[in-house]
Amino acid sequence: MTDGTPLTDARPRALRLLPTGRSRRARYTAILFVLPAFTAYAVFVLAPLIMSLYYSTLRWDGIGKARFTGLANYVTVLTDPDLLSIIGNAFELVLYFTVIPVLLGLAVASAIRGHMAGTFGTLTRTVLFLPQVIPLVAAGIAWSWMFASTGLVNQMLTAVGLADWTRGWLGDFDFALPAVGIIGAWVLLGLCTMLLVTGITKIDPSLYEAARLDGARPWHEFRYVTLPGLRQEIGVCVTVTVISALASFDIVYIATGGGPGITTMVPGLEIYRLAFAHRQVGLASALAIVLMVLVLIAITPVQWYAREKK
């Protein structure tokens, strides 16, 4: 009673029953439901990720004794001109993988706004999704053939009188990387287009009518109605395509193997080469971690952009 609580208010206060058996049981149940997924994730993603971090501090050929080298591998990744140009290649691929599909997709989506019903729509959807269904490797093979010296690309150039321009595209030091980029653009174009077309049908048509009443030109409609309305879809397109550009492997492996020289070498393939052909596990792991971080850095602003409105 030192705090002066009046005696009359000294009710037996609160039979506290916490933590109850119920909440404990509920927690066990939750754990049991999540456990299988978490185990698989921990064993085959988290553990390797930690090992990657660990390997990246070693100088190790994968067989003999490993030597701790601290951050030396990271220094190599970030200073070696070859590795830097390989990372540069990945970012150059973003130009093709991301910019072409998103811009073309936007153009198509705003042109065909809402005209995707019926048989024609179904046909379009089916065809445009084909590249998403086949293995990337198959896309790589198909386009290797397209870009071959007797392939369709050269055939068409010859047909329009540009025979001088023909070449073995994937073996050309200047054009191999753009050619690889085109393959990625081809794969992702349909997906982006469909995402944006679907997104645009969700924009309230009365917004366009209101804009037109306000005297908006087509460009204004695009700028002030379509673009803001597609924010989320554009975010998804950019995210997906940027990841597939930075982490590309299948297409490059099949189409060029990184050549000629290292003009089309990308981090994904270089990790594979370093770890399993050159037996530089430490360096490969450092590059892997750098790649992971680069993807995160590239994606984060996109996520912000896409979310801002919500």
Residues 46-65 that bind another protein (CB under 8 A): 46-49, 51-52, 55, 62
Of 7 and 133, nearer to another protein (C-beta) is: 133
Q: Are 245 and 93 in contact (CB under 8 A)?
A: yes
What are all long-range contacts of 203-207, with beta carbons under 8 Å and residues at least 24 apart? 203/229, 203/230, 205/114
Find the distance separating the first CA and the last CA of the chain, reported in whole Å.
Answer: 54
Q: Does 141 bind another protein (CB under 8 A)?
A: yes
Of 2 and 297, nearer to another protein (C-beta) is: 297
Q: Does 129 bind another protein (CB under 8 A)?
A: yes
Return the amino acid letter for 58.
L
State the minimum distance, in angstroms, from the CB of residue 16 to another protein.
Answer: 5
> Can you tell me whether residue 67 is helix, strand or coil?
strand
> Can you tell me whether residue 56 is helix, strand or coil?
coil
- Footprint of another protein on residues 100-119 (CB under 8 A)? 104, 107-108, 111-113, 115
* Residue of the chain from 77, 170, 189, 234 that contacts another protein (CB under 8 A): 189
Of 276 and 304, nearer to another protein (C-beta) is: 276
State the minimum distance, in angstroms, from the CB of residue 79 to another protein.
Answer: 21
Q: Does 153 bind another protein (CB under 8 A)?
A: yes
Q: Tokens at residue 31, please?
A: 């754990």
Cis peptide before 267 (omega within 30 of 0): no
Q: Tokens at residue 207, please?
A: 């917004």
State the minimum distance, in angstroms, from the CB of residue 153 to another protein.
Answer: 7
* Residue of the chain from 45, 78, 163, 227 that contacts another protein (CB under 8 A): 45
Helices (H), 43-151: 47-55, 72-79, 81-94, 100-112, 118-133, 136-147
Q: Is the dihedral of CA 286, 289, 294, 297 positive or negative?
A: negative
- Footprint of another protein on residues 234-263 (CB under 8 A)? 236-237, 239-241, 243-244, 246-247, 249-250, 253-254
State the minimum distance, in angstroms, from the CB of residue 138 to another protein.
Answer: 4
Q: What is the DSSP letter of 43?
A: I
Q: Does 138 bind another protein (CB under 8 A)?
A: yes
* Residue of the chain from 11, 65, 309, 310 that contacts another protein (CB under 8 A): 11
